[in-house]
Structure 1
Amino acid sequence: MLTLDKIYHASYVLKDVIRKTDLIYAPKLHAGGKIYLKTENLQVTGSFKVRGAYYKISQLSDEEKRKGVIACSAGNHAQGVALAAQKNKIPAMICIPDGAPISKVEATKSYGAEVCLVQGAYDDAYEKALELQKEMGYTFIHPFDDEMVIAGQGTIGLEILDQLPSVDAIVVPVGGGGLISGIAYAIKRLRPECRIYGVQATGAPSMFNAISSGKKEALESVKTIADGIAVKRPGDLTYDLCRRYVDEVVTVTDDEISTAILALIEQQKMIAEGAGAVSIAAVMFGKVPVEGKNVVCLVSGGNIDVTILSRVINRGLLKSGRSVDMTIELVDKPGQLKDVSKIIADLGGNVVSIYHDRADVDTDVNACLLRIVMETRDFEHIQQIREAVLQAGYKII
């Protein structure tokens, strides 16, 4: 059984292993409430996962430690288990979905763990880990559906109450549910009036569906940039805890997540992975009530692959009106490109790229298409440029 004593004990065990991450005030993310960021993206290994993994491994018997441990993970739990195993001087095997960011795979290897890449999503890696456990006799370290792991994650709740005793709401990313279960249990026991909100990606809403329908069912597939919370089925223990202690679970789109990642970079000078930014996205896009409240958004991890980050930034720019792709039909005669460029420049738009096409089959013989990608300030700025182009007699496709 999960108890408050176990969470306090986990906090004691972890005090010399993990970092007590800062709680940072972030007023620009939402004007209506006082928003704080619990920066687990700055944790050892770049994620909260080391808390639960280390506490679980620390409580194993000597015989279990001799056999070694095995885990399955999209990347962050892998690093937590690998580091915990290294510090306890025991062997570790980690099964990771082959679509996980390369940076997470390499980081796991750097802690001395053996990595087994598994084709598919987290749940496929889970099945492979169970298979290897039976074959090799490892001790399985579950990423979320384990009371010791949940107790380790619950130490974040204790830290938040210590850093902001007047907290009114905490917004937490949800994959399998281990993180929010631990935090919700601790918070509701110590400050029951505090609201706990869970956030999932619309492409992986396993806990959202389970709470809404009242029953756990595995998703056929998951698809989201938030790979750290791309879980097909919530845990049995975590589902029960969420149902009892979590006030609401909401979802955010990949575009909203991208916008949140971009906002953290620009406004807070902070890198978050997709899973870590869903709490920010929920606040920015009004998925949870924050008006007049002290709200903590948990930034659960920062291990984003740099190649994905560049694409996410581009999506975030489009979603926030900071970038626009405009195609204009012109008459193929001298001066047209110059005139269009002048309109954009006079209104403060910055042209990034231009593609000029004379051979489109859907245009008139003497017409051509001009595709312009430009940097803009916001959607109002885009509309000003569109109206000026139209007023000048040009046709926007």
Structure 2
Amino acid sequence: MIIVHDVLQAREIIKEVVHETPILHSSQLSTISENQMYCKAEHLQKTGSFKIRGATNKVKQAVREGATYVTAASSGNHGQAVAYIAKQLGIPSTIVVPVDAKESKVNAIKAYGGSIEKCGTTSAERLPKAKELAVQHNGTFIPPYDDPFIMAGQGTIGLEILEQLEDVDVVVVPIGGGLLSGILVAIKQTKPKVKIIGVEPETANDTYLSLQNKKITSITRTSTIADGLRTSQPGDMTFPILQQYLDDLVLVSEEEIKVAQNFVLERMKQLIEPSSAVTVAAAMNKKLGITGKNVVCVLSGGNVDIQV
């Protein structure tokens, strides 16, 4: 299990690559949810999502240990981040994406210098392929979330939130793996009174089921619009952190996600992807179970296929 020291160390390692993203306030969302609502704008992050934080921390570690080639399995954002930082460090990368990956994300990976390999529709199918390619080419596999360096990198978001909004009461985070676990460690080991709420799509509720069953539980294929949250099951490393620190978990429907995404675009003038919109959806539909608090919704990414 990582500790806050690992997150602080990651911050020093990645600071020359990543942006410190702003926190935006929404008066209308505040009125709707009956809280003071803020959004941590990771959709404005380099490569368009929070993933560059963990990827930079992990790929730099791999290069320090002699890596000359890296692979990753990704629905898009993690792949973009790995391709970007690999190119910056002067090594090739191959990204294994689902067969139905959004064209905009595939094109972005290519633009960042990554090679593309398509495989299946779930993380359970992509991960073995990416590991196989790494072995074949004597390279290093970069996990999407279940890795201490990935988690520590994502946790730097938590440190920034505490500094940018000192009187924060609640942080709402999409549940995809490393993002939530990293933020939990950063915040709970620094300011434990801050409440952390995770949000998952109803149709991709592997973490919800796992917490209910008190053990890692997998789900079958999901077609949720929040493609960045299509994990089959929680990670072996991330799940114990969620069990220890997570205050609450709520589920949102596909329609609620779509309405929230449109709200952020129309009212806040910010283009976010559906995986980001789950946190706003939870607030808009008063699923957080709180009023009168200072709440930060993490907007995890903004890589949207406009045609879709």
- Same-fold status (TM-score > 0.5): yes
Report the number of matched residues.
306
Report the counterpart of residue 275 of structure 1 in structure 2. Answer: 275
Report the Cα distance in structure 1 between the residues aligned to 2:65 and 2:185, rounded to whole angstroms. Answer: 31
Report the counterpart of residue 169 of structure 2 in structure 1. Answer: 168
Report the counterpart of residue 214 of structure 2 in structure 1. Answer: 214
Deviation at 1:62, TM superposition (A): 4.5
SS of structure 1 residue aligned to 2:204: coil
1:98-113 aligned within 5 A: 98-113=99-114
Q: Per-residue displacement from partner, 1:120-166 (whole Å, max 9, x unpaired)?
A: 22221112112222222220110100000000000000000010011
- C-alpha contact (below 8 Å) 1:79/1:108 kept by paired residues: yes
Deviation at 1:223, TM superposition (A): 1.8
Unpaired runs of at least 5, structure 2: none
Name the amino acid aligned to 1:54.
Answer: T
Report the Cα distance in structure 1 between the residues aligned to 2:96 and 2:66, rounded to whole angstroms. Answer: 19
TM-score by length of 1: 0.75
Report the Cα distance in structure 1 between the residues aligned to 2:247 and 2:284, rounded to whole angstroms. Answer: 19
1:1-397 aligned within 5 A: 1-31=1-31, 32-62=34-64, 64-66=66-68, 68-175=69-176, 177-308=177-308
Report the Cα distance in structure 1 between the residues aligned to 2:125 and 2:237, rounded to whole angstroms. Answer: 20
Name the amino acid aligned to 1:64.
Answer: G
Name the amino acid aligned to 1:232.
Answer: S
- C-alpha contact (below 8 Å) 2:76/2:109 kept by paired residues: yes
Report the Cα distance in structure 2 between the residues aligned to 1:211 and 1:21, rounded to whole angstroms. Answer: 31
Report the Cα distance in structure 2 between the residues aligned to 1:100 and 1:236, rounded to whole angstroms. Answer: 25
Report the Cα distance in structure 1 between the residues aligned to 2:262 and 2:36, rounded to whole angstroms. Answer: 20
Answer with 264-273 or 22-31: which moved more. 22-31
Radius of gyration: which is bigger? 1
Deviation at 1:12, TM superposition (A): 1.2
Name the amino acid aligned to 2:215.
Answer: K
Report the Cα distance in structure 2 between the residues aligned to 1:28 and 1:253, rounded to whole angstroms. Answer: 21
Name the amino acid aligned to 1:19.
Answer: H
User: Looking at both structures, which has the greater relative contact order when contacts are Cα pairs under 8 Å and sequence separation is at least 6?
Assistant: 2
Answer with 251-260 or 52-61: which moved more. 52-61
Deviation at 1:193, TM superposition (A): 0.6
- C-alpha contact (below 8 Å) 1:283/1:290 kept by paired residues: no
Report the Cα distance in structure 2 between the residues aligned to 1:178 and 1:289, rounded to whole angstroms. Answer: 25
Unpaired runs of at least 5, structure 1: 309-397
SS of structure 2 residue aligned to 1:10: helix
Report the counterpart of residue 311 of structure 1 in structure 2. Answer: none
Report the Cα distance in structure 1 between the residues aligned to 2:110 and 2:166, rounded to whole angstroms. Answer: 39
- C-alpha contact (below 8 Å) 2:71/2:95 kept by paired residues: yes
RMSD: 1.1
Deviation at 1:92, TM superposition (A): 0.7
Report the Cα distance in structure 1 between the residues aligned to 2:71 and 2:79, rounded to whole angstroms. Answer: 9
Q: Per-residue displacement from partner, 1:67-110 (whole Å, max 9, x unpaired)?
A: x1110000000011011101111111110011111000000010
| Percent of aligned positions that are identical | 41
SS of structure 2 residue aligned to 1:232: coil
- C-alpha contact (below 8 Å) 1:99/1:121 kept by paired residues: no
Q: Per-residue displacement from partner, 1:183-224 (whole Å, max 9, x unpaired)?
A: 011100111011001111111111111111111121121120
Deviation at 1:61, TM superposition (A): 4.5
Report the Cα distance in structure 2 between the residues aligned to 1:257 and 1:30, rounded to whole angstroms. Answer: 18
SS of structure 2 residue aligned to 1:203: helix
